[in-house]
A and B are shown apart, each in its own frame.
Chain A
């Protein structure tokens, strides 16, 4: 049972344009959401996060939007650069009992930014 879903396995975008990566979740107990970026042969790197009390968080070229009623979040990258080409994982953290520190990951979206 996939609690965090990334329905697009891949996305191709032109350099300089906007990249939008999407993520859906099913568990209403998730209260903290994160995006990770992963290059081949490296571990995932934390990119940006958002708490369930917010609907938007920005960090430079990266913005995460959270729509709690739709159980949907998205990552916007503007402008996209070739170095952004990587696999992006969405992750969620539940807030119940002792499980506040676990992360549940989606299946990832491979972003290719074309020069």
Chain B
């Protein structure tokens, strides 16, 4: 079974803090993704990576950056957290084609 593990289930951060969300997959997948889920908006792609040190912007990259130093690990960074980044963050991984396999999500609250 594919395992995508997100390091935190719940996080509470203050406005302006630098926030790191970590994700690890154990299936040797080439691709890794960060989505956010908001009510009424579905899942929106923030960034994805198709190889180590490679990344591409998704639909809503503003305010975020990513890091992929090892194949199994993909980090999402909020450089200066803002209240509009309060959301459910979902990491996923896949081979070259779908389906994507998701982690259980990190519920981030920025106060």
Contact = CB atoms under 8 A, between A and B. Distances in A.
Contacts of A91: 43, 98
A42 B45 contact: no
Interface stretch (A12-20, A65-73, A76-84, A102-110): A102-110
Nearest to A107: B42
B98 A93 contact: yes
B16 to A, nearest CB: 28
Contact of A46 (B33, B44, B99): B99
B58 interface: yes
User: Nearest 7 CB-CB pairs, A to B?
Assistant: A43-B102, A107-B42, A105-B43, A46-B99, A105-B42, A43-B104, A44-B102
A93 B43 contact: no
B13 interface: no
B102 A108 contact: no
Interface of A: 4, 6, 9, 32, 34, 36, 41-46, 49, 89, 91, 93, 98, 100-108
B42 A103 contact: no
Contacts of B45: 102-104
Bin chain B's interface residue count.
20 to 34
A106 B43 CA distance: 7
Given A101-B31, A101-B50, A102-B48, A46 B100 contact: yes
Given A49-B99, A91-B98, 13 more contacts: A42-B105, A43-B104, A43-B105, A44-B43, A44-B102, A91-B43, A93-B97, A93-B98, A101-B48, A101-B96, A101-B98, A103-B33, A103-B100
A6 to B, nearest CB: 8
B98 A105 contact: no
Nearest to A3: B59
A89 B92 CA distance: 15
Nearest to B59: A104
B103 A43 contact: yes
Contacts of A103: 33, 45, 98, 100
20 contacts: A41-B9, A41-B105, A43-B90, A43-B102, A43-B103, A43-B104, A44-B43, A44-B90, A45-B102, A46-B100, A46-B101, A89-B42, A93-B97, A98-B56, A102-B45, A102-B58, A103-B33, A103-B98, A105-B44, A107-B41
